[in-house]
Amino acid sequence: MSTKRVKVVAVAVSLLMLIQVGWSQEGSSQPQCNQVVQQLTPCVQYVTGRESKPSDACCNGAKQLAASAKTTKDRQTACSCIKQAVGGLPNIRPS
């Protein structure tokens, strides 16, 4: 699997966790974690090993995330989401 795909999937799962704890960036023009999570929810099955490849819905959500994170600041926001959530993610496939 490509490094880019792994990163996209990691973002998806991380953002799902953020929604569960209610973290968001209200009032910001940057992509909010809760919006991104809705786009990437289909990726959870893949990154937890329940599916052998990402679904079309997962890939489409990843493309939407890439389109919404246009600036360095947007990408830093997504990275912050990952950093906040990654510690609590169970069963993530390292590959």
**pLDDT tens for the chain, residues 1 to 95:** 566 666 666 666 665 555 444 444 444 545 577 776 677 778 878 877 888 999 999 999 889 878 888 899 887 887 777 666 555 566 665 55
pTM of the model: 0.59
Q: Are 10 and 89 in contact, with CB atoms under 8 Å apart?
A: no
Q: Report the C-alpha gap between 8 and 20 in whole angstroms.
A: 19
Q: What domains lie within the chain, and their CATH numbers?
A: 29-94 (1.10.110.10)
Instruction: Give the CA angle between residues 8, 20, 92 to the nearest 5°.
Output: 40
Residue type, 42: P
